[in-house]
Amino acid sequence: MNNTVVLITGASSGIGRALAFAFGREGASVVICARTNTAIQAVADELRQANINTLALVADVSVEADVKRLIEQTIAQLGRLDILINNAGISMRSMLIDTDPAVIQKVMDINFMGTVYATRYALPHIIQAKGSIVGISSIAGYRGLPVRAGYSASKFAMNGFLEAVRTELLHTGVHVLTACPGFTASNIRFAALGAQGQVVGETMRDEGSMMTAEECAEHILRAVRQRKRELILTTQGKFTVFLNKWLPSLMDKLVYNTLAKEKDSPLKK
């Protein structure tokens, strides 16, 4: 990763922060962004203390002008862009019947349109470098999850978008990776939106039994090195994707029953 510039969106915590350390320790210059200056500068200080060359920028990926400026600042200050990691994301937890459609729109704007904006404006530089475009998707992008309809929709959209982009770029030397962590210990669930857009502020799952963000980041780093097209993590994730393809009706029941066991789940036990 020496002489490589990596841009990671949503890098103030969780998988994004772990990716910054993983790529930085391999010699990459790391550009990190988030919506809050205080949060992203705190991570930048940690990265610099680890002797990682870091550029920290503020951007809201759901705002096209912010993303365009993010790419321009990266090129202006570092001169190139080799790897784009679309990591910024937000989750939601509520039954569709209770959900304000504006909440789903917000999730789509961040998770999907954020990926569209960043990929579009980074693309000329990625093509020049014959680099990599990475989307941090989810098992929810292969199998719709109840109580997370908007989140699932955003990740299905990301998966289809990246598949189309990969095919468009087939003869350019550009690598496109869709990475699906499965349930990973990350701040995304603590910032999940409720039915009316409020931050729920607590997780419904046992964080201690999940893959850590750092483990997830190492898997993604390895997949970028190997230029894989797809990365599905955790045994549960691989099992879900496989069975959903061949036994979808069974998976409806299994997924329902599994998520009905979550703390305060609105699904009937």
d(CA 3, CA 21): 16
Which residues, in sequence order, are CB contacts of 9 under 8 Å at separation 6+?
Answer: 16, 33, 34, 59, 61, 70, 85, 86, 87, 88, 114, 118
Per-residue burial over 32-51, b if 16 or more Cβ lie within 10 Å, else e, is bbbbeeebbeebbeebeeee
* CA gap 3, 118 in Å, rounded: 21
Partnered with residue 135 across adjacent β-strands are: 86, 178
Rounded CA-CA distance 231/179 in Å is 5
Start-to-end CA span in the chain (Å): 49
DSSP SS3 for 180: strand
Is 151 noted as a catalytic residue in this protein?
yes
Q: Which of 58, 49, 46, 59 is nearest to 18 (CA)?
A: 46
**Using alpha carbons only, what angle is made at residue 85 by residues 189 and 119, rounded to the nearest 5 degrees?**
115
- Of the candidates 22, 10, 129, the one whose C-alpha atom is nearest the C-alpha of residue 79 is 129
Of 117, 121, 142, 151, which one is the catalytic site residue? 151
- Using CA atoms, how far residue 213 sits from 73, 206, 243, in Å, is 27, 15, 26
Task: Return the active site residues.
Answer: 151
